[in-house]
Homo-oligomer: A and B are copies of this chain.
Amino acid sequence: MIEIETCKSVDVIDITDQVKRTLRESGVENGLMLVYSLHTTTGLIVNEADGALINDILSLLQRIAPRGAGYQHDRGDGNAHAHLQATLLGNSLIIPVERRELVMGMWQKILFFEFDGPRHRSIFVRALAD
């Protein structure tokens, strides 16, 4: 389990190194890595860890599902936009494992998106052997 303290209401964290560490400790040679967020207002993607691009992704999500746009769920929690943005990204990833390494392209990083922080967040990570 990767435990994260997010720092802002919206936050993006590159967890690639933590996932790689979990893989090394597992000793798995070939198979897949499962990365699964336990939350309903966070997302996980594989893409480039470039600050400008991350701002573009956040702007896009805010444009598609803006905060406080008269959502029914906002009558309770006030975080409907965070659920909607999370839904568009998804809450889990799988990454191939070969010869004890993640199979990832040159620009690929594992990015965790917080949409309703700051909070303590838990991400389940496990290598499954073939």
> Taking beta carbons and an 8 Å cutoff, which residues of A are in contact with B?
31-32, 34, 36-40, 45-48, 50, 52-53, 55-57, 60, 64-65, 71-73, 75-76, 80, 83-84, 86-96, 103-105, 107-108, 122, 124, 126, 128-130
Contacts and interface: CB of A to CB of B under 8 A. Distances in A.
Nearest to A56: B71
Contacts of A105: 37-40, 122
Contact of A88 (B46, B50, B88, B93): B88
Interface of A is mostly: mixed
Q: What is the count of identical protomers in the complex?
A: 3
Nearest to A44: B90
A65 B60 contact: yes
A122 B96 CA distance: 13
Contacts of A38: 103-105, 108
